[in-house]
């Protein structure tokens, strides 16, 4: 059975690391506004979920920007820098015993520092956080941890490059996410048959155009949800939803929880 740490402090951290039966420990950490770490290595490997605020992370001469619901796998060997956002940053980290990865034959999962921003990773990580905040059963928490790890299974990126016209269409959908054109309008814009467009989009982006539009819209409201000053009705309106109930239905369908529950986990 997994030995669970606390969500509020490092108080049991040393006890966890000294326990040969423990696999992970959960820590809820708040970083002050504009707090900075120079180049360093973490003492232990971890999976971190950014719940509120922003962070700029430097790794191997590259910079990655994380925001609410972004997730990062960070091996102990990864030297990196951090600059946290101007309003402070809340991060929940799952500290992992290195032998856990060996036992699960998942060493490749922790071979490189990698950030994840897509909804499938957000769903799995927030489900895990929700369970960690409320569970009285470590068995249930283990189930969600397994689902989280499964969602993070590394798949090498496809070498297939979408044709130029499809890349342009994809960019248009990203720009016009509040009021996206219909499939027929998009097909006419790029000069192909609607069915051919639908097949090509699914081939290269692994979902339908309608699914992509829905997922993109939900993804866009995650950052506003981390602000306690914006009402759900205002967020729904700004994102182009017909009304708050429409927003709630689509958000719950994608994320498995209502926007209100999701917000409470982000803002604490």
At 190 the pLDDT is 95
111: exposed, middle or buried (Cβ count in 10 Å: 0-12, 13-18, 19+): middle
Domains and CATH numbers, the chain: 13-151 (2.60.120.810), 164-267 (1.10.10.60)
Q: How far, in Å, CA of 106 to CA of 126, rounded? A: 22
Q: Which residue from 130, 115, 113 is spatially nearest to 60, judged by alpha carbons?
A: 113
Q: Which residues pair with residue 91 across a beta bridge?
A: 29, 50
At 238 the pLDDT is 87
Cα atoms found within 13 Å of the Cα of residue 186, Cβ hemisphere only: 25
At 84 the pLDDT is 95
* Per-position DSSP letters for 175-186, written without gaps between them: HTTTSPPPHHHH
At 101 the pLDDT is 62
| Cβ neighbours, 10 Å, residue 40 | 11
CB 130 within 8 A of CB 49: no
**pLDDT values of the chain reduced to their tens digit, one per residue, 268 residues:** 233 334 433 334 455 555 656 667 788 888 999 999 999 999 888 889 998 889 999 999 899 999 888 899 898 889 999 999 998 999 988 887 766 666 655 556 667 888 988 787 788 888 888 777 776 555 567 667 777 777 776 555 556 789 999 999 999 998 888 888 999 999 999 999 999 999 999 889 888 898 888 888 888 888 899 888 889 999 998 888 888 998 999 899 888 889 998 888 887 6
Return contacts of 189-198, CB within 8 angstroms, 24+ apart: 190/165, 190/166, 191/165, 192/165, 197/169
């Amino acid at each position: 059975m997994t030995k669970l740490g606390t969500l509020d402090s490092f108080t049991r951290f040393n006890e966890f690391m000294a326990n040969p039966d423990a696999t992970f420990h959960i820590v809820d950490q708040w970083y002050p506004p504009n707090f900075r770490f120079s180049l360093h290595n973490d003492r232990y490997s971890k999976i971190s979920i950014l719940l509120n605020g922003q962070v700029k992370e430097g790794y191997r001469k590259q910079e990655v920007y994380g925001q609410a619901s972004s997730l990062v796998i960070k091996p102990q060997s990864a030297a990196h820098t951090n600059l946290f956002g101007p309003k402070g940053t809340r991060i929940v980290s799952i500290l992992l015993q290195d032998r856990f990865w060996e036992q699960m034959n998942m060493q490749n999962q922790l071979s490189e520092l990698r950030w994840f921003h897509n909804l499938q990773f957000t769903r799995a990580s927030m489900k895990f956080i929700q369970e960690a905040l409320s569970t009285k059963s470590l068995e249930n928490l283990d189930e969600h941890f397994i689902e989280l790890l499964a969602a993070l299974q590394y798949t090498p990126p496809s070498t297939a490059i979408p044709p130029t016209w499809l890349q342009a269409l994809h960019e248009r959908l990203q720009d016009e996410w509040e009021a996206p054109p219909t499939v027929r309008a998009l097909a006419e814009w790029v000069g192909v048959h609607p069915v051919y467009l639908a097949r090509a989009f699914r081939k290269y982006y692994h979902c339908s155009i309608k699914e992509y539009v829905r997922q993109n819209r939900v993804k866009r409201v995650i950052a506003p949800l981390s602000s306690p000053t914006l009402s759900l009705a205002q967020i729904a309106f700004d994102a182009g939803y017909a009304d708050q109930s429409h927003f709630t239905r689509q958000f719950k369908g994608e994320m498995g929880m209502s926007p209100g529950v999701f917000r409470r986990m982000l803002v604490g």
